[in-house]
Amino acid sequence: MRGLLQSKMKSRLAAATGLLVAISAVAAFGVGGAQAGSARSSAGEINGAGATFPAPLIAVWQQRYKAVRGVEVNYNAIGSGGGISAITNKTVDFGASDAPLSPDQFSACNGCVQLPWVLSATSVMYNMPLKNNVHMTGPILADIYLGKIKKWNDARIKRINPGVSIPDQEITVVYRSDGSGTTYNFTSYLNTVSREWKSRVGRGTTVNWPTGVGARGSSGVSGVISRTPGAIGYADIAYALKNKLKFFSMQNRAGRFTRPGLVGIRAASLADRKFSPTNELSIVNPPPGKRFLKAYPICTYSYVLLRIQSSKAALLKPFVTWALTAGQQFGPSLVFQPVPAYVVARGKATLRKVHS
C-alpha cells in the first residue's frame, strides 16, 4: 500500500512539473510554446536610432519582443538629433526623438510620420551632500543655467529649503552637448518660467548655453554629475535612478513641489489631449488647475519616427503597435508612465498610413 501511494505521488508531481513547464513556455513565447518561439527566431530584423530618453524602455522591448515575435530590434541611442538625421537619410527603419519634428524637418524627411509612444519626466539632478528631493523652482533653475546664481547657498535657494543646511559650494552647470530631445523638453520648460531665458536662449534640441560644461547623451550628463561635487544637470528620471543620483522636487504652477515619479507624470499627461496635425502633444508646465495639483512640470512624450513608405512596414507596424499596447506594461518599473488610451488610438490610426 505504501509503495502504491508513493507511486501515485510521483506521478502527480511529474504531471504538475510538466504543467508548470508548459505554462512557462507559453508565458515566454506566446501560444505555441518554446518550439514556436524557436521557429520564430529568424523572423526578421529592424533597425532604429535616436533619443537616449526612451532607451531604457526600448532596451526591455528589444528583449521581450524578440522572445514573443522572434524579430530582432536593434536600437542605437545617439540622441534625438541623430535619430532625426538617420530616418531622414534612410539609414534606419525607425527614428526616435523627444522633440517633435519641425516643419522644415518634416519637409526634409519627405514622407515621414511621428507618433508619441513613450511618456516620462526629465529630472533635474544634483551632486551635493544633501537628502534627495531638495526643493527647486523654475525661475531659480533658469537663473542657475543663465549663470546668474553661482553658489548653492544663494539666498533664494535657502529660502525655499527652510531647515536644510545648504553648502557654500560652487555650482557646476552640466548640459547636453549633442542634439537632444531632452534638451528640447528642458529648455521648453525654462521658456515658460523665465522671460530672460526665452529672449536670450530660447528652446531647441541644441541652444547656445550661457554657462556650463557639455556632455554627450544622458549617460554622459549623469556621469559628469556623479563625478563632480556641486554639479547640476538634467536627464530622464530612469538615468537618475540607475546612477543613484539625487534629483529636485520641482515647484509646479499650483505652487506644490512635486517629484518626477509616476504620479506626477500621470497628472501632467492630462495637460494636453489636443493633437497637432503632426501628432505633437505638449505637457510642459501644466496650468494651476485642480487636476494638476500633483503634476510634475518637466514631463514629455517621446516620438517614434517612421517613413510612410518602408520596405520594413510589415515588421515595423506590428512592433510599434505592440510597443504602444503590451509593451507599455514594462514602463512603470523604469518610471515610464503608460501612454493614455487616446494616444494609443491616435498611434494606431497613424500606423495605417505606413505601407511597403
CATH code of the domain covering residue 63: 3.40.190.10
Measured at the CA of 266, the angle between CA 196 and CA 333, to 5 degrees, comes to: 110
Cβ–Cβ < 8 Å for 274, 288: no
Within 10 angstroms of residue 225's Cβ, the number of other Cβ atoms is: 27
Same-domain status, 278 and 319: no
Asked if residue 31 belongs to a domain, the reply is no
CA distance 167 to 142: 20
First to last CA, the chain: 69
DSSP string, 221-268: HHHHHHHSTTEEEEEEHHHHHHTT-EEPEEE-TTS-EE-SSHHHHHHH
Instruction: Based on the fold, state whether residues 270 and 290 are members of the same structural domain.
Output: yes
* pLDDT at residue 274, rounded to an integer: 86
Give, in order, the Cα–Cα distances in Å from 266 to each of 133, 301, 318, 356.
19, 12, 26, 36
In a domain, 80, yes or no: yes
Give residue 305's pLDDT.
Answer: 98
CA neighbor of 186 nearest in space, from 266, 260, 127: 260
> Which of 255, 277, 299 is where one domain is finished?
299
Whether the Cβ atoms of residue 310 and residue 354 lie closer than 8 Å to each other: yes
Kindly list the distances between the CA atom of residue 277 and the CA atoms of 103, 234, 272, 331, 348, in Å, as whole numbers in the listed order. Answer: 11, 30, 14, 27, 15
CA dihedral 287, 290, 291, 293 (to 10 degrees): 80
Q: For residue 22, how many other CB atoms are within 10 A of its CB?
A: 12
156 plus 91 within the same structural domain:
no
**Non-local CB neighbours of 6 within 8 Å, separated by 6+ positions:** none
For residues 199 and 243, state if they share a domain: yes
3-state secondary structure of 2: helix
pLDDT of residue 43: 77
Which residues, at least 6 apart from 107, have a Cβ–Cβ distance to it below 8 Å? none
Number of domains in the chain: 2
Based on the fold, state whether residues 104 and 185 are members of the same structural domain.
no
Same domain, yes or no: 106 and 125: no
pLDDT the model gives residue 15: 36
- Neighbouring CB atoms inside 10 A of 69's CB total 19
Predicted confidence at residue 12, as pLDDT, reads: 39
Q: In terms of residue numbers, what domain contains 141?
A: 121-299
Same domain, 94 and 182: no
Q: What is the pTM of this model?
A: 0.85
pLDDT by 10-residue block (mean), the chain, 356 residues: 40 36 31 31 84 95 97 96 96 96 96 97 96 96 98 98 96 95 96 98 96 95 96 95 95 97 95 89 92 96 97 97 98 96 96 97
